[in-house]
A = this chain, B = another copy of it.
Amino acid sequence: MKIQVMKNILGENDKVADENRELFDEKNVFVINLMGSPGSGKTSLLELTLAKLKNKIKIAVIEGDLFTTKDAERIERHDVPVIQINTAGGCHLDAAMVKHAAESLNLDDIDLIIVENVGNLVCPAEFDVGENLKAVVLSITEGDDKPMKYPLIFKESKIAILNKIDIIKFTNFNLESAREDLTTLNPGIKIIETSCTSEEGIEDWCNWIMSEVRQLIVNKN
C-alpha cells in the first residue's frame, strides 16, 4: 500500500520532470541537480563556481531549503538570479517545485541553472526534476563507506565531488577505496577531489561544467 502511493507520486513527478526538460531543451538551458548531505559543502562549492564562471556563461540558481533563505542569501551576493524554494520540511525537491521556480526566471537569458537540492543523501536521488545531469558532493569527513551505504545517489550522478580534501589527513578516509566503490556502483562516474578552502580541484570542476554546457551554448549563439 505504502509502496503503491510512492509509485503514484513518482509517476506524476516524472511527467512534470519531462515537461521541465522539454522546456529547458527548447530554451537551450543546461540544468545541474546538485545533491549531497547536509554540510557536504554544496553552497560553498556553488559560490566558488559562480565566482569563476559567471563572467563566462549566464548562470541562475534554484536553492532548495526546508525553511530558511540562508543559502539563497549567500548566493545572492554573487549577483546572479536566485530563486528560493522552501519545502516546508520536505526532504527533497520535486519536479513541480522546480517548474514553479523556473517560471520566475527569464530562461531566454540563462545558459545554466544549478539547482541546489535539500541536504540529504537519500530522497533527492529518487526525484527527477528535469535536469541534464545530477552531481553529488561527498565531504571526506563523512567517511569512505558512504557510496556503498547510499548507493542510489552515486549511481544516478554523472560526477562525484569529493570535497574538503584539504583536511583528509585528519580523517581515516581512504581515497582509493572510495574511488573503487564509486566505480563499482557507476562505472562511468567522473570523480573530482576539491577543497573550497584551498580551492584545489575547483578549476577542474568548473572546466568539467563548461565542457558539459559548451554544446548548448554553441547552439544558442
Chain B residues, Cβ within 8 Å of A148: 68, 70
A110 CA to B143 CA, complexed, in Å? 31
Chain B residues, Cβ within 8 Å of A218: none
Whether A149 pairs with B65 at a CB distance below 8 angstroms is yes
Copies of the polypeptide in the assembly: 2
Selected interface stretch from A19-27, A77-85, A120-128, A199-207: A120-128
A123 CA to B123 CA, complexed, in Å? 9
A183 CA to B197 CA, complexed, in Å? 29
- A39 touching B120 in the complex, CB below 8 Å, given contacts A66-B150, A149-B66: no
Whether B70 pairs with A146 at a CB distance below 8 angstroms is no
Chain B CB within 10 Å — which of A39, A91, A123, A167 has the most?
A: A39
Q: Is A141 an interface residue (CB 8 A)?
A: yes
A2 CA to B10 CA, complexed, in Å? 11
Q: Is A152 an interface residue (CB 8 A)?
A: yes
- A91 touching B5 in the complex, CB below 8 Å, given contacts A38-B146, A142-B39, A170-B167: no
Given contacts A65-B149, A68-B148, 6 further A-B contacts (CB under 8 A): A39-B143, A40-B142, A70-B149, A89-B126, A89-B152, A91-B91
7 A–B contacts, CB within 8 A, in A order: A5-B5, A37-B39, A70-B149, A71-B149, A91-B120, A119-B122, A141-B141
A-B interface, 4 closest residue pairs, ranked by CB to CB distance from nearest: A39-B142, A141-B141, A91-B122, A39-B143
